[in-house]
Structure 1
């Protein structure tokens, strides 16, 4: 119980100074790395974000980790994220390995139980997505897509009763 509230002024000073420096590093590298670092996260981006948070906290709180080692590990993660996402943008094969594909989980009035089971989604979650988009009836929905960033996209039927073949053609590759 000795150090429950306070250990030493030196330790507190180190934590405050390290926190400010790690904060500045993360803000600058996030700005330089672009919008992807703060966009809707897919699994890959989420993992990198958690790792950066963990490294930042470790650098701040653990005196055994020198500031330059903490900075280096955070910078390496940002560089790796940049390189991997850059390569994924030009290589569809590589992109398929690291990113999940969108999947249709509801199509033309029908829940797709196999797709829902694979993605571990419930009807309640799909209906919640519909309500959040202001959709009142399943009859108004052309499709619901579970995106690679784990967001549910609700595609409504055309209110002008136009031919929906173009939507079907666009979505059909996603059901494979």
Structure 2
């Protein structure tokens, strides 16, 4: 059957019209972190958010108040985790991964590449995308907490102090 009755279709339409601007408002209230590049916790929250919105739209057993409460709870959890993470390095390490050094001073770190499941050719691709024609111009390559790869170019007589919090696995 194409659909059971018009009331259910109107219910979904009305819920969608109400929930869509509400989700936009909630995401704006939580700041720019939510729609940015994700770490694993942000990704989980985003998937859960989408699941809740989808369930809310098509399930007639979920009231408007229940849908808003569930979305509000997820927003609160995300806020609390990020708030505590900023204030506690130990907690931050539990919920977020550390950046990992993949290449440093002319050498790939095979153990780091293996554990992060990144091939050397992927590092070369990122170097090319950053306009780098030779790894001799690269000080370091880091797999960031959001899954992106950063290239730090060599600068004469200047240490790469941005590598302080980067995890170094065996060479």
TM-score interval, normalised by the smaller of the two chains: over 0.9
Equivalent position of 1:171 in the other structure:
163
Match of 2:43 among 36, 43, 46: 46
Q: CA deviation at 1:170?
A: 4.3
Q: CA deviation at 1:136?
A: 1.1
User: For this pair of structures, how many residues does the alignment match?
Assistant: 168
Match of 1:11 among 8, 11, 24: 8
Q: CA deviation at 1:8?
A: 2.3
TM-score under structure 1 length normalisation: 0.90
8 Å CA contact 2:98–2:165 kept in 1: the answer is: no
Match of 1:155 among 152, 155, 170: 152
The DSSP-based 3-state class of the residue aligned with 1:87 is: helix
8 Å CA contact 2:103–2:140 kept in 1: the answer is: yes
Distance of 2:165 and 2:145 partners within structure 1: 15
Q: CA deviation at 1:173?
A: 5.2
8 Å CA contact 2:102–2:113 kept in 1: the answer is: yes
The DSSP-based 3-state class of the residue aligned with 2:26 is: helix
Distance of 1:123 and 1:20 partners within structure 2: 48
Equivalent position of 1:111 in the other structure:
108
Instruction: Structure 2: give runs of 5+ residues left out of the alignment.
Output: none
Distance of 1:27 and 1:11 partners within structure 2: 24
Q: CA deviation at 1:55?
A: 0.3
Instruction: Structure 1: give runs of 5+ residues left out of the alignment.
Output: none
Distance of 1:70 and 1:122 partners within structure 2: 43
Match of 2:58 among 52, 58, 61: 61
Higher helix share: 1
